[in-house]
Chain A
Amino acid sequence: MSVREATPYVPKPVSTRFLRSELMLIFGRRRNWAGMAALAAIPIIIAVVMKLWPGGGGGPDFFNQIANNGLFVSLAALTAELPLFLPLAVAAIAGDSVAGEANTGTLRYLLAVPVDRTRLLAVKYLGVVIFAFAAVALVAATGMLIGLLLFGGGDVLLLSGSMVGFGEGVLRVLGVVLYLGVCLSALGAIGVFVSTLTEQPIGATIAIMVLTVLSFILDQIEQLDWLQPYLLTHHWMDYGEFLRDPVDLGALVPGLLVAAAYTGVFLAGAWARFAGKDVSS
């Protein structure tokens, strides 16, 4: 006598159910709402301050442009958040990815469902990637909205001195968002790897941030110029290329290659570490 149903469900070759469940965990969690609210607060703070106390000059390029075109709130906010806030947000999610499940003990129940370990890592990493793109997009979109509201739109003055229409300006900001999404996804790959090493998600997050800050510091030391092109964060600021005319996509290739290399190496490391790991949490 079998207790199985007479007509068993035939699983689809590819199902997005688990990924959707993962995204609900990430985007449904109040802690993460707070983090995203903090990310979105920066462009609002920048825009309001620039509105209340205009001028000043001498600040970074994007800041000077804000009074002329609200679109630059997006770029100013991304520039301001790239050294700490955005990496920290990705580090929090990536650090939590495997270590968080191990910490609550839910990892053992997922594996017993069963979830294939490679599939679990793939879904966890995809969740981190989607969050990284969403975080950058959130900053840019919030900046654009508040910028347009307070300063209006119009033609965009590029770094190279030429003007493009507002629509093209938006497209160029979109290019920046995608480029930074890729950069932060590489950080996410390091994060998922670190997350397989521990059962303490906070510890993993701190370790990821330490690596990020270390990369920024090494990037400042002149004697290490031979090393700098290979540092994770070295090419992050290359997104300025989108503000030149014409855009030379070739200038973005080194940054994309470094991101791809870090992603490949650390995902392979995560797999090697996790595929045969004893889960005793």
Chain B
Amino acid sequence: MAEAALREGGDRSVPALGASSHRSDDAVATYGLTKRFGHQVAVDSVELRVPRGAVYGFLGPNGSGKTTTIRMLLGLIMPTAGRHDLLGEPFQEKAGAILPRVGALCEGPAFHPYLSGRANLARLDAADRTADPRTVKRRIDAALERVGLTAAAGKRYRAYSLGMRQRLAIAAALLTPRDLLILDEPTNGLDPQGTREVRALVSGLAAEGATVMLSTHLLSEVEQICTHVGVMHQGKLVTQGSLAQLRARAQRRVRVETERPEAAAETLTALGLAEVTTGPGTAEGLLGELAPEKIVATLVHDDVPVRGFGVVAPDLEDMFVELTGEGFDVSA
């Protein structure tokens, strides 16, 4: 979390001063990106801004348009409208130059079942015109090592467990040095140990200077490794920003523990707090712009016997349910 705090200082989601070009320096920037299938709008005017160096958690319920967005970012499907830049370059014109710097995991692993893990990586590397054939063995070994798949490298992909397949897909994304990693559900199918390893890997890549954009269902994953968050809902990007910004935007509540909740509620209402409620031994209200210490002082001044006082920020799950109206699979 210390790392996350550092990164927030470098938040560049606001255009830099004096930037005459409309191109941002963000690692991912989309402009009105839209995809329609028939008359169904899968992605609706999405304006992603993933700052360089960020670990961007791309969240949303199933069917909210995350994967369609990622497919458009990688050029697999063509947007109906809008455009996007990756690593500061316009994608439509320069896809061939940009994509070698982008490692991707898109909708789960996919490899030739009758080839070994190593042969599958060699196949992908052979397809990469920018990859140096002289270093292919070393790079494949390093990628396998990094995801802990060295021992199973010679086995046929067919015999891999889901976790091993997922690791191989991550290894493929790491075959050459990348400036941007777009990872769709990178911990899907991994056991708790594997999940921890992948999170450490993602943090390590970010520490080396890569920007990581990862889609996930797991809010704990976002809280542990992400610096920025974007939330999709029904094809729209409903919120986006650094975790700190998001938390600040959340409506905090004050909670007063007292023998006289009615009197406390009176004071809170008088101070202008909204949604004041009382319970047995408690009174609550929305904090708004008020300083908490001023509330405490006023309560004491009004002779309300305060036993406890707290400011409660809603956790991420509450915020996402509020934003999307749907629950997330937090326990998986």
Contact = CB atoms under 8 A, between A and B. Distances in A.
Contact of B106 (A5, A20, A109): A109
Interface string B69-102: 0010011111000000000000000011001111
A30 B107 CA distance: 28
B78 A276 contact: yes
Interface string B132-175: 11110000000000000000000000000000000001001000
Contacts of A223: none
Contact of A112 (B99, B133, B179, B208): B99
B101 A112 contact: no
B310 to A, nearest CB: 41
B196 interface: no
A1 interface: yes
A160 interface: no
B327 to A, nearest CB: 27
**Interface magnitude class on chain B:** 35 or more
Contact of A20 (B110, B126, B209): B126
Interface string A104-133: 111011111111100000000000000000
B209 A2 contact: yes
B179 A21 contact: no
A172 B121 CA distance: 43
A105 to B, nearest CB: 3
B23 interface: no
B76 A112 contact: yes
B76 A278 contact: yes
A11 interface: yes
Interface residues of A, number: 32
Given A3-B209, A278-B76, A106 B112 contact: yes
A15 B172 CA distance: 21
Contacts of B112: 25, 104, 106
Contact of A21 (B96, B101, B123, B132): B123
A9 interface: yes
Contacts of A29: 114
A18 interface: yes
B124 A109 contact: yes
A22 to B, nearest CB: 9
B245 interface: no
A280 B130 CA distance: 25
Given A3-B178, A3-B209, A104-B111, A112 B122 contact: no
Interface string A1-21: 111110011010001011011
Contacts of A111: 74-76
A4 B127 contact: no
Given A3-B178, A3-B208, A17-B126, A114 B110 contact: no
Interface of B: 71, 74-78, 95-96, 99-102, 104, 106-108, 110-115, 122-124, 126-135, 169, 172, 177-179, 208-210
